[in-house]
A = this chain, B = another copy of it.
């Protein structure tokens, strides 16, 4: 599923079809997310008003809901966008940033997880938080290895119908029965904000062009992980890693 040829084909499809990805995300990562999508060949849009999100569902190829900086007003816009996407058959991805760390956010993440996402991508603490198990995370990072959340991810996939990805040193992608391991990436990526958010956005982009959802999510994580590996070769620290990652997403050099 993750051969170089298969990944190259997905990359070519992304460039040829340039899926329009609607992002409802945090201001912290909005710029980096948009640049990651552009680099890999997708087309980002960050429309965020109640009036526009409904109209936008008719033309977007995929939607990302990232709860990184959530407010009640933004949550309401997210509900509208999700409703429109589900009605239109547009695939959508939930990034449950910080779920499990504090109560209000966990409640929002669980509400959204029940609204038929096509994929959910989080770290171990977030996936454990979503299913009601305690991780060791504080804030949005995680102190828990991704393998510790694989069982939780399988249960979450079954109850939500989503493909669930637990990302970490190794990423695990599951539909509730099958589990695909993606062993790409570099530890320095954890020192750049929004790397997980970019992975979620690229997941949405691939879901916009690839109907096999398990394959789509695994490919998205492999493409982003490989870009991080390529960037790490020449990086002098997290700043140059971030820039090299965008370069590598675009050039596909591996």
Contact = CB atoms under 8 A, between A and B. Distances in A.
A52 B104 contact: yes
Given A39-B239, A46-B69, A239-B245, A102 B59 contact: yes
B30 A28 contact: yes
Give the interface residue-count category, chain A.
Answer: 35 or more
Contacts of A102: 47, 52, 55-56, 59
A51 B68 contact: no
Given A52-B105, A102-B59, A237-B248, A26 B46 contact: yes
Given A71-B49, A237-B246, A247-B237, A31 B34 contact: no
Contacts of A45: 98, 139-140
Contacts of A244: 236, 239-240
A44 interface: yes
Contacts of A139: 20, 43-45, 59-60
Given A35-B193, A38-B193, A43-B138, 14 more contacts: A26-B46, A27-B46, A34-B193, A39-B239, A44-B193, A46-B69, A47-B102, A47-B105, A49-B72, A49-B104, A55-B104, A237-B248, A239-B244, A240-B247
Closest 3 CB pairs of A and B: A237-B247, A239-B246, A27-B27
